[in-house]
Amino acid sequence: MGATIATALCAERGAAPVTPNNLKGTIYMRNRTFGINIRVSEKEKKRIENYAKKCRLSVSEYLRQLANGHTPNEIPSDNFYLISRDLEMMISDYRNRDDDMMAKMLRGCVDELYDIYIYPKRGGKNGDN
């Protein structure tokens, strides 16, 4: 259920969570024919695996993104999307009650949450941050 909520809310806001599942079969695997072996300590290995898992990426994709100058973001928990949905419902309720001031305040909160957790490296969806 949570993944469906996340996908619906991100699509509604013009973004989709990037996960290994929605990258399969795309051009991302096209020219990957060379392997690189590196030596790391056990602590470093666990840390890399932990960061990749939080971003819902394979270790290879996580390291590839870092090598290409992109810092992968952690994917927010399902609770983030449940709270976002609840806030969207509250906004709708306030609009139906002709309380535009409260609706605008809540809209600002939701937009700020998305700017912080979904669009942090891009300076926010609207380029505000």
Which pTM value belongs to this model? 0.48
Q: Assess whether 68 and 112 both reside in one domain.
A: no
In tens, the pLDDT along 58-100 reads 999 999 989 988 888 887 888 888 888 899 999 999 888 888 8
Q: How many domains does the chain have?
A: 2
Q: Which domain holds residue 59?
A: 19-74
Q: What is the pLDDT of residues 20-41, one digit of tens each?
A: 555 555 445 567 788 888 999 9
> How many residues are listed for the chain in this entry?
129
Residues 42 and 68 in one domain: yes
Q: How far apart are CA 6 and CA 65, in angstroms?
A: 22
Question: What pLDDT is attached to residue 43?
Answer: 97
Give 56: exposed, middle or buried? Use CB within 10 Å, 0-12, 13-18, 19+: middle
- Judge if 47 and 69 occupy the same domain: yes
